[in-house]
Structure 1
Amino acid sequence: MLQFYFLSVMLNLLIGIMLVFNKEDSAVEKLLDTEDKLFQLVVGILSVFVALIKLLSPVKGVPFFGDFLPALIGFAGGACLLVHYFYGKSTAEVQPPELINQIFIENQRYIGIACLACAVIHFICPAVLFL
């Protein structure tokens, strides 16, 4: 379905921008309120949902592998936003497990770069086998 293809590209692009340019003085922060917790929650949930739907209903071509990498990166980006939301919202001193901290918090900039790259490449070349 082309709607989910477009949503995947746009959400990967948005999450990439949010994760890479999350400085308080950046122009992106003035354009988008990326520290808004509700915005992070909605974008994270939408990204995980669209990633799951993309795995279940591919656009065309090779059924599973054509949308695998964008769905996987969208899922990782959405999970990164959700982890940031839930551990930032907690009032108690709760530390995430070491694996979650290492993957989704310390490396969120790399996940953001992967989301940006995947969104651009997937938009330019939608029929590539593993993208």
Structure 2
Amino acid sequence: METRRAEEREKLERRLAAEVRVMEANEANIAEFLQADSELAAAEAELRVITERSAKAKATALAAIAERVGSVSGAADLVEISAAKAKTLLREAGLSVGTKKAASSQESTPAPATPDAATDEGRTEPSDPAVMSA
């Protein structure tokens, strides 16, 4: 009877030892998974930062092109993207573009001409009293 109890006890101890090994292996797998998950989260964060920098650099370059070309849609054509995508890229980067149209319409607005300046082009003295007193 006592040997039978000893055998049952030994069986239970072996089963318990096997369960402990399985639990330890599971713990190791969980720790490995958590480590990999943490590394993945860090890589995702780094990729997000790189992507944001890249988008900002693209938008800055696009803004420079748009200023030289005179329009966002013209710049979009040059870099082979849609005008809507170009505008979205600029808006998301918080950039605005001073195109030639906007700049030239402000700069090329002629000052109102005085009647005698238009009729008296050959005259050498200035017709503006402020210039005459200078």
- Compute the TM-score of the two structures, normalised by the length of structure 2: 0.29
- Indicate the structure with greater helix content: 2
Indicate the structure (1 or 2) with the bigger Cα radius of gyration. 2
- Compute the TM-score of the two structures, normalised by the length of structure 1: 0.30
